[in-house]
Amino acid sequence: MTTLSQGLKQGPRVAQEVERASARRAFGRFVGLTAINPITLVYFVALSGAVTTSGGSWVRSIIFVAAVGGSSLAWQLLLAGVGSRVGASVSLSATRVIGVIASLLIVALGAVVLINGAAALG
């Protein structure tokens, strides 16, 4: 933890030019992250199974897939747009602090999942 705080205080030794991702690349990154997210895949498969076993016609299934695809596209565009705007307007040190906070949040959420999972097993 000391090394992390020292690195945050010192900052980069040499000023570096940061290459900004294009809108297409940012969008592709978010789509890829969503596609490989196992929870998203499990959720989609579970909902797909519920739609197909509910006795609906094939038209309802197509409408469901189109609605999921459309809402996913809208969500990805929103994330990419907000990320692009925020990324262009914050400093390198603010980006670093946001990254550390986000990482700590992910670690905390993972710990909660592990603790709840262990409690459920025993």
Burial class (CB in 10 A: 0-12, 13-18, 19+), 80: buried
Residue of 26, 36, 18 whose CA lies nearest to 79:
26
Over residues 23-59, the pLDDT tens digits come to 788 778 877 877 777 777 777 777 766 666 666 677 8
- Tokens (6 digits) for 85: 């705007």
pTM score of the predicted model: 0.47
**pLDDT at position 90:** 86
DSSP state of 91: -
Least confident of 15-19, 44-48, 65-69: 15-19
Rounded to whole angstroms, the Cα distance separating 96 from 87 reads: 11
Least confident of 37-51, 75-89, 90-104: 37-51
Q: State the average pLDDT over residues 75-82.
A: 84
Q: Is the pLDDT of residue 21 over 60?
A: yes
